[in-house]
Amino acid sequence: MNKKSTVILGLYDLFLAIAAIFIGIQMLQSNSGIFSEYPTEWLCKLPFNSWVQPGIIAILVFGAGNIFSSIMCLKNSPNKSWLSSALVGFLLLICVIAQVIILGEWYLPSVEFFVAGILQIILSGYVLISKKIS
């Protein structure tokens, strides 16, 4: 079960990487895409002038971070596979919590990202436990 759980975590990390890159690209195209409809009041509360900066962060931190985690899992690197995934998951949770504190409200994307981070941490913990058992 150890190898199977690591592959599942790697595929989940790859899914999150693709999603982060896709959302980041939408943010970069904020003048014409879905983010052109987002309330501009949100940007007034955030330390950004447009959606471009958060888009770059999403691509570099969550896209690249999850790609790295996915590679570590699929290569079955000892200890690094679950650790890198857990760190990216905790970083996602911290960002969601900070966003909720700054904006003062939970929005549907916030809940979805929070659940994605929790699931990533749970899968990382499962991989760690299965490595210790075997």
Q: What are the pLDDT digits (tens) for 53-76? A: 888 999 999 999 999 999 999 887
| pLDDT value of position 58 | 92
pLDDT, tens only, 37-50: 666 666 777 777 77
Q: For residues 84 and 68, is the Cβ–Cβ distance under 8 A?
A: yes
Q: For residues 17 and 63, is the Cβ–Cβ distance under 8 A?
A: yes
Q: The whole model's pTM is what? A: 0.88
Q: For the chain, which ranges sit under pLDDT 70?
A: 1, 31-42, 77-79, 134
Coil/strand/helix, residue 112: helix
Q: For residues 12 and 126, is the Cβ–Cβ distance under 8 A?
A: no
